[in-house]
Amino acid sequence: MYGQQLSKYLPYGHIVDAGNGVLYQPWYENDYTGLPSQGGNLYTCSYRLNLYKSTNGGDSFSAVNIMSHTNDNENFLYTEFSMVNIGGGCFIVLARKDGLDFQEYHQYKSEDNCNSWYDHGNTSFETLTGNYPAPPWLSFINFEGVGIVACYYTNRGTQKMNVVYGLAKDLLENGPSGWNGNTIKEIFDFWYPQNPPAQYTASGYQSFYQPLNQYKGIGVGFKESGTYLAYPIVVFTNISDMKDVLIELGL
C-alpha cells in the first residue's frame, strides 16, 4: 500500500493478463468531504488509481500505484478506470472523472510493464453530459496484426451506449487525440419508448468481451428502470460497422 488506505475503495474492471503469469487488477480509493454532485466543490479530497499485480498467476498480489492526488476546492475526483494491454509491455488506462461537471475521461499510458506511468490528459472524442457519466471499458482488437483499441462508454446525457476506436500505436504516441471520433458507433439506446420518454440517469457500467481479440464483441450493461430498480442488458457490436471503422482508421 502507498501510505494509509483511504476510506473508500473498490476494484473495477476485468483482470488484465500480461502473459507469463503476470496479472493486473485495477482498483481505486478515495477520501473526500463536500458534495460535487450538488454543484459544490470538494472541500478536501485524496484519491489514488492503483493496480494489484501478480507475477505468479494469481497466487499472490502486491499493490502498484498509477497516480495519487490530493486537492482542495476542486469539483471532481478520479474513480473507476479501465486498462488494456496493447502488447510490448505497453498499457493504456482511461479513468472516470467523477463530479457534476465531468465531461471527459482522463488517459494514462505505461511503456514499461506498468512500472511507470505518463499522464496523457483528457479525451475529446465526445462531450459527456448528464449526471455522473458511466465509467469506460477498454478492449483490444487484433486486426490482421494491427492493434486497435475499442472504448465502450455510456453518455448519460444522450442516454446512449457507444463505442469509439483508435489505433493502439496512435493512442500510445499521441495520447487522447488517437481516439477517432468518426468511428463512434451506437451500441444501445437507453431511452424507454413511452410518452414522454423516460430518462434513466444511472445506466451504463458496461463490460465487453472480444473473443480471440476479434472485432465482434459481446457485452453486458446496466439499465436503470426506476429509482431503485435496474436490470442487465446483453448487447453486441455490429459486424456491419467494421468496414466503416477500418476505413476511418486508414486500414
d(CA 135, CA 13) in angstroms, rounded, equals: 10
Report if residue 96 sits inside a domain: no
Report if residue 240 sits inside a domain: yes
Q: 95 or 8, which is more confident?
A: 95
Report if residue 220 sits inside a domain: yes
Q: What confidence category does residue 4 fall into, taking pLDDT thresholds of 50, 70 and 90?
A: low
Q: Closest Cα partner for 89 from 52, 115, 68? A: 115
Q: Amino acid identity of 189? A: D
Q: Amino acid identity of 248? A: E
Report if residue 106 sits inside a domain: no
Report if residue 73 sits inside a domain: no
Report if residue 92 sits inside a domain: no
When divided into structural domains, the chain yields a total of 1
CATH number, domain of 138, equals 2.120.10.10
DSSP code of 10?
Answer: E
Report if residue 138 sits inside a domain: yes
- Segment 145-197, tens digit of pLDDT: 999 999 999 888 888 899 999 999 999 999 999 999 999 999 988 776 655 55
- Segment 97-149, tens digit of pLDDT: 876 666 789 999 999 999 999 999 999 999 887 766 688 999 999 998 999 99
Q: 30 or 230, which is more confident?
A: 30
pLDDT at 25: 93
Residue whose C-alpha cell reads 436490470 in the numeric block: 231
Report if residue 151 sits inside a domain: yes
Residue-range definition of the domain harbouring residue 163: 123-248
Q: What is the DSSP string of 54-94?
A: ESSTTS--EEEEEEEEEEEEES-EEEEEEEEEEETTEEEEE
